[in-house]
Structure 1
Amino acid sequence: MKKSIRIRAHVFTPALSVLALAVTASVQAQGIEVNPVVISATRMEQPLSEVLSSVSVITRQEIEKSQAASLADLIQGEAGVEFGRTGGPGSTTSFFLRGQNSTNLVILIDGVRSQVDPYGNLQITDIPLQQVERVEVLRGNASALYGNAAVGGVINVLTRQGQGNPSAYGSATYGSLGTANLSVGYSGSNDDSRFDLNAGRNHYRGTSSMDSKINPRVNPDNDGYTNEYFSGKFEKKIESSLTLGTRFTTSTAQVNTDSGEAADPSNGVIGDVATDVQKFKKKTNSFGIYAKKAVTDDWLSTIDVSQSTLKYEDFKNGTRYFSGYGESWQNGLIEGTQNAARWFNTYQLTPAVKTVFGADFESEKLSAEGNSPYSLKRESHGYFGGATATIDKLSLQANLRKDTLDVSHNQYGSDSNSKPSATSGLLGAGYQLNQSWRLTSTISTGFRAPGTAEIASSATIKPETHTSKEAGVSYSSDRTFARVVYFQTQTKDAIAYGGAPDYALSNIGKTQNEGVEASARVVWGGHSLKASYVRQDPWNVSDDKPMARRAREYGSLDFSRSIQMYDVGAKVYASGSRADGATANTLAGYTLWTLYASKRIDNEWTARVKLENVFDRQYQLAYGFNTPGRGIYATLQYQPK
């Protein structure tokens, strides 16, 4: 039955009041960064207009304007980005970059890889946006730069860094579904040091994560999310050529959820009932130190050492819970430690040639307690080098990387071992047709090594191998940057669950994706516009079916303008239908509208309001799981200029 749309007048009143006042004022130009500096595409700083690969950049200004609840909500609408989620903010989130599986991407937090579980699933997808300075989304195969699993792309998150006179900052948000967020910080810099401290709490009461009308075993109570966090960065210049720094972060999160699992006596699964209370608790800590040394005027060298820890607990009715066969979380307690070291260098070989080289080392341990206990160890070594060159109108990029891994897994008293290695490469070229128009192309190879649970499932399992190609044209001016790209990716020895009777993980064969991707950033006549559109065909060639939770078409349009002391805007995101994958169901296409506005009260205070999912659209990102309906959110922000 089609749901009638009823929008209550009092829901719109704050937003309409701001919009009405704004319309009566005269226009002032508002700027977004049309051509921001990008790091992730080459591991060296470049203006976006000079990058050969496809990259999106989201600045701190855009993060504040969006008032997004999570990293997934922030990057939704960027070209090449889709995600699935089992509920509202804080629940399990799977990113699909360039149509690749959710295990085929890398999330970096200040250059450090996010930890993954035995299946390759990312553990850090709920970083508080109050800590984030900018996000870069690098689309396409980047194994030649970042190694294992970076075949769909890289989400590079850079946390806040102090600048300007030391001062306090903060924000408070209150809104629908019991949303109550508070963040405070203190940051600044002087001639030889800079720092940032940030702490806060995000709370979301939510709704039931699963639809009890679809699954009667689901408890229809509210499934909320709470995250408490604290982070800091400090950097000091010891001498003109040497800078030392440290950073840390700690986060404790809890998300209530639903499983709706059916009884399965053959696997010891009792099954859920409508009175069950289920929740996840996750605690993460990280600490790092680094040194930057200008060896010569042309050579900058950085050494970075860090440690990250993870504790993940799965509770049902107050006790640690085994969630059943086939689930990513199979145990009541998972604990892990990751040690990482990076040696990174940039060297200006000639005025027209810049090189990058270095090494990455990681050592990781993960263990689980419950009905299916296991332990894993994973060590990886990566050595890389690359160069960019400009010869008249021609730009060139070349990268090469060698990775070796040593993975061991113990479960049910049985050991499984694997020592995969791979060499990945990237070649790119660009040609400047005139002052504004440019042609670009890249070809790259990459790999994803099997996770420890995948090795345990099949001792003969092999790494996935990937080949990617893209060709594009871009237009750049002082007010516009736009790019259209044709891309094609092929995966061999793709890892996935096989069919009956055992549904074991194995190399199923081949998958592929090809399509066209368009994006634009424009400042024109006092207006700011961001737009994206993707048409693709993610296909499992071996099974002859579409890949799960990926649409054939999706895109977004974000339009805003400044009018005296007000900023007003609207964003629309649309996605086509998607196969669910976990079931035989199809997830319907949907369109979401968001209205937002802000008022600069003075040089320090800004008031913001956002009306999300304006038409209260019901949609699903995973079959049977609810998503937030219409909501209004207000933020008061303090940020000295």
Structure 2
Amino acid sequence: MKKSIRLRARAFVPALSALSLASLTALAQSQYSSDPEVVVTTNRREVTADQVFQSVSVITRQQIEESGAQSIMDLLAGLPGVQTARSGGAGKATSVYMRGTTTNQLLVLVNGVRVSAAGTGEFDWNSFLPEQIEKIEVVRGPLASLYGSDAVGGVIQIFTRTPQSGVSIAQTIGSYGTRQTDVSIGGGGEWVYGLRMGTKSIDGMQTILTKPNRFGSRQKYIDGTLNRKFDRDTRLQFGLSYGEGNNEDEYGLNFSRNYSGFARVDHATTDSWHQTLQLSSFGVNLTVPKGYPPGEFSTDRTALSWQNLFTMSSGVLTLGADTWVDKVVKLDYWNAANNVQKELVTNAIFGQYATKWQDVDWQLGGRSDHHNVYGNQSTFNAAAGKKINSKLQVMSSYGTAFKAPTANDLYWPHSAEPNTDDFGNSLSSSAGTCGPTVMTSWGSRTPCVYDTVGNASLKPEKSKTAEIGMRYVDGYALSLNYFETKISDLISWKSTEQGVGDAYGSYYQPVNVNQVTIRGLETGVRQRIADWFVAAQYTRLLAINQETGLQLDRRPKSSAALTLSKEIKSHKVSAMLQLASERLDSSGQNTLAGYGVLNVSDLYKIDANWSLLARVDNVLDKKYTLATSFGTPYATPGRSGYLTLRYSYK
């Protein structure tokens, strides 16, 4: 108990010190306003940000254009409770960690559509570019009682651009041979349409710090929307996004395709009953022709959601049902016996009730999911909030969540591959080149074979999260949230050494073993001072693997961001400083040094139709590392610049 108290104290002290120095929230709004943003992700219905019990960040279209961000990673970096990592330069594999949870314990939606691959459980953060995005809502904390699996650390929802009447063209050039073109057109009468398409290419930058090779990427995309409001009671909407590209690494080119689409009907059945019916589809395909082994990975998901909103004098009741089918395919070009084709089915019902009683806002919700492999999972949330006065609001919540095992965890095909030397020659026990008595240069035993297989008896990971928080608005906005999360039955691929002779090897299989305890404090302030807008945040995070006693990989214990912006005639100048303390990597075997990175941008409004955006990343050319490959650091971009010329005609 004393140890737990000490851990809590260590989490609070630096954060409270940072508050006294005006720690702030990451992406500054172009103008500070006391009017809260409207969000839909937290409750699956429209509410203002001051009506929710969760910690929420909203990144608007105006902020995206003013920042000149080149990726979603650039947009999310520096937000409270969010850490990012990338395996190399721009366009390479990216991970996002929310409140210490792993990247596949974060639910990602695009226009209300689940967009994680069923094989890995992860979203491809490079599949959407900032030019395609209208708004991003970031909700911290468990929302499984509304969305089901994956929403352990939180939910990020991306909304693609809304149709705008007229024509828009944007052209970007920049470092590492970056070139991007985006064209959109919109209009209509009763039927409102929007069409956007674009391409982006990067000639390449260094990926592995110890190797000079440079690898690039190419992608193209097209988004379309169509909607009509038939009368005051009925609206019909359609949306479709498609993207494809290639990404080069030391093995050659990897090819990817992705799509997401929906058809949605909103109907006000009565003055107090509103229905939404949505049919959606998502697919992702990754082809690795020269990987090890070469192959193909695909997910195709079809989903149907029916949601009912009842507005009563006593409160608001939400009732709904979700169902989706994942068709998962893994093809091994070397050995067809390793191919996998599975169909995973999820059916769920959910409900949430919000009311006001004894001058306190209350919320209670629950959900039941049934899966054709791992069975039934039930989750719930309970929250309460009170406005002490017109300036101060306090809230608390408790919620459970779960993360379903991925198709790779369940069904990765049984494969045994011989260990080889640096020249590709198989090692042999009889020759004395492998076995339990043959030690590697770093002191471990040398396996003769690597044996890997999935585990169809895995259970879902489960979590419990408690949180307290406050918001204060009085000429400036201050927020503070403290949370504790415990995750059990964490799925981990474990290696055991067994066998004799040439069968001696490392046998890998996922099992439910680990437990994680996470404690954190997020603080934020934003304020306008004369002509300056100031925003920043400080996050203190302790995310401990109970099996090893170590902080989880790539999660800094302390992180912060400071943003300053100022309008100077036709210019909007902004600067952001991101800070992170040292982090562990490679299951705690390596330590990554802390870093500070400064990015600046200038948006120049030439006239009503033309604008020019200049952005410089890593102004001080800081050398830092976000991730390693078995201890070998991945490269990060040095000082780099980008110019975007934009024309809009309405």
Asked if TM exceeds 0.5, the reply is yes
1:420/1:90 CA distance change after superposition, 3 Å? farther
Q: TM-score, length-normalised on structure 2?
A: 0.83
Q: In the alignment, which of 372, 380, 385 is matched to residue 351 of structure 2? A: 385
Q: In the alignment, which of 628, 636, 639 is matched to residue 645 of structure 2? A: 636
Query: What are the Cα deviations for residues 547-577 of structure 1, in whole angstroms up to 9, with x where unaligned?
Result: 1111101111111011221111110001111
Partner of 2:394: 439
Q: In the alignment, which of 489, 492, 502 is matched to residue 488 of structure 2? A: 492
Partner of 2:153: 152
**Cα offset for 1:583?**
6.9
Instruction: Report whether the alignment pairs 1:242 with 2:234.
Output: yes
**Cα offset for 1:476?**
2.4
**Cα offset for 1:391?**
4.0
State the alpha-carbon separation in 1 of the partners of residues 473 and 51 from structure 2: 10
Alpha-carbon contact 1:114-1:124 (below 8 Å) kept? no
1:58/1:392 CA distance change after superposition, 3 Å? farther
SS at match of 1:384: strand
Alpha-carbon contact 1:172-1:636 (below 8 Å) kept? yes
State the alpha-carbon separation in 2 of the partners of residues 346 and 604 from structure 1: 41
SS at match of 1:177: helix
Partner of 1:182: 181
**Cα offset for 1:640?**
4.3
SS at match of 1:537: strand
Partner of 1:608: 613
SS at match of 1:49: helix
Count of matched residue pairs: 562
**Cα offset for 1:79?**
0.7
Alpha-carbon contact 2:193-2:227 (below 8 Å) kept? yes
Query: What are the Cα deviations for residues 178-200 of structure 1, in whole angstroms up to 9, with x where unaligned?
Result: 1111101012465x443221100
State the alpha-carbon separation in 1 of the partners of residues 409 and 388 from structure 2: 48
Alpha-carbon contact 1:540-1:546 (below 8 Å) kept? yes
Match for 1:178: what amino acid? G
SS at match of 2:131: helix
**Cα offset for 1:315?**
3.2
Alpha-carbon contact 1:90-1:126 (below 8 Å) kept? no
List aligned pairs for 1:102-501, cutoff 5 A. 102-123=103-124, 125-163=126-164, 166-188=165-187, 190=189, 192-211=190-209, 213=210, 220-258=212-250, 277-316=251-290, 321-323=291-293, 331-350=294-313, 353-370=315-332, 371=334, 372-391=338-357, 393-406=359-372, 418-456=373-411, 457-477=454-474, 480-501=476-497
1:146/1:474 CA distance change after superposition, 3 Å? same
State the alpha-carbon separation in 2 of the partners of residues 531 and 73 from structure 1: 16
State the alpha-carbon separation in 2 of the partners of residues 631 and 89 from structure 1: 11
**Cα offset for 1:533?**
1.1
List aligned pairs for 1:574-593, cutoff 5 A. 574-581=579-586, 584-593=589-598
Instruction: Report whether the alignment pairs 1:74 with 2:90.
Output: no
State the alpha-carbon separation in 2 of the partners of residues 208 and 356 from structure 1: 50
State the alpha-carbon separation in 2 of the partners of residues 92 and 497 from structure 1: 20
Query: What are the Cα deviations for residues 240-297 of structure 1, in whole angstroms up to 9, with x where unaligned?
Result: 3111121111111211123xxxxxxxxxxxxxxxxxx522110112332111111112
Query: What are the Cα deviations for residues 147-189 of structure 1, in whole angstroms up to 9, with x where unaligned?
Result: 10110111100111125xx211121111111111110101246
Match for 1:563: what amino acid? I
Q: Which has the higher strand share?
A: 2
SS at match of 1:462: coil
Query: What are the Cα deviations for residues 219-243 of structure 1, in whole angstroms up to 9, with x where unaligned?
Result: x332112110001001011233111
Alpha-carbon contact 1:161-1:187 (below 8 Å) kept? no
Partner of 2:61: 60
Of all paired residues, the percent bearing the same amino acid is: 27
Match for 2:567: what amino acid? S
Partner of 1:271: none
Partner of 2:7: none
1:582/1:203 CA distance change after superposition, 3 Å? farther
Alpha-carbon contact 1:71-1:126 (below 8 Å) kept? no
Query: What are the Cα deviations for residues 577-597 of structure 1, in whole angstroms up to 9, with x where unaligned?
Result: 111135721111111001111
Alpha-carbon contact 1:401-1:425 (below 8 Å) kept? yes
Alpha-carbon contact 1:105-1:152 (below 8 Å) kept? yes
Match for 1:133: what amino acid? E
Unaligned runs of 5+ in 1: 1-28, 259-276, 324-330, 407-417
1:598/1:124 CA distance change after superposition, 3 Å? closer
Alpha-carbon contact 1:290-1:304 (below 8 Å) kept? yes
Instruction: Report whether the alignment pairs 1:541 with 2:546.
Output: yes
**Cα offset for 1:499?**
4.1
Query: What are the Cα deviations for residues 131-155 of structure 1, in whole angstroms up to 9, with x where unaligned?
Result: 1110011111111111101101111
State the alpha-carbon separation in 1 of the partners of residues 489 and 536 from structure 2: 35
Alpha-carbon contact 1:115-1:124 (below 8 Å) kept? no
Match for 2:494: what amino acid? G
List aligned pairs for 1:610-625, cutoff 5 A. 610-623=615-628, 624-625=633-634
Query: What are the Cα deviations for residues 282-315 of structure 1, in whole angstroms up to 9, with x where unaligned?
Result: 0112332111111112222111112222221113
**Cα offset for 1:32?**
4.6
Alpha-carbon contact 1:395-1:430 (below 8 Å) kept? yes
Query: What are the Cα deviations for residues 470-517 of structure 1, in whole angstroms up to 9, with x where unaligned?
Result: 10111124x533210111000111111224322421111311100111
State the alpha-carbon separation in 2 of the partners of residues 606 and 295 from structure 1: 45
State the alpha-carbon separation in 2 of the partners of residues 202 and 129 from structure 1: 11
Partner of 2:426: none
**Cα offset for 1:529?**
2.6
List aligned pairs for 1:7-22, cutoff 5 A. none
State the alpha-carbon separation in 2 of the partners of residues 549 and 69 from structure 1: 22
Query: What are the Cα deviations for residues 195-217 of structure 1, in whole angstroms up to 9, with x where unaligned?
Result: 22110011112212112x2xxxx
Partner of 2:575: 570
Alpha-carbon contact 1:485-1:517 (below 8 Å) kept? yes
Q: Which moved more, 1:278-287 or 1:601-610?
A: 278-287
State the alpha-carbon separation in 2 of the partners of residues 586 and 341 from structure 1: 45
1:117/1:625 CA distance change after superposition, 3 Å? farther
Q: Which moved more, 1:523-532 or 1:199-208?
A: 523-532
**Cα offset for 1:427?**
0.6
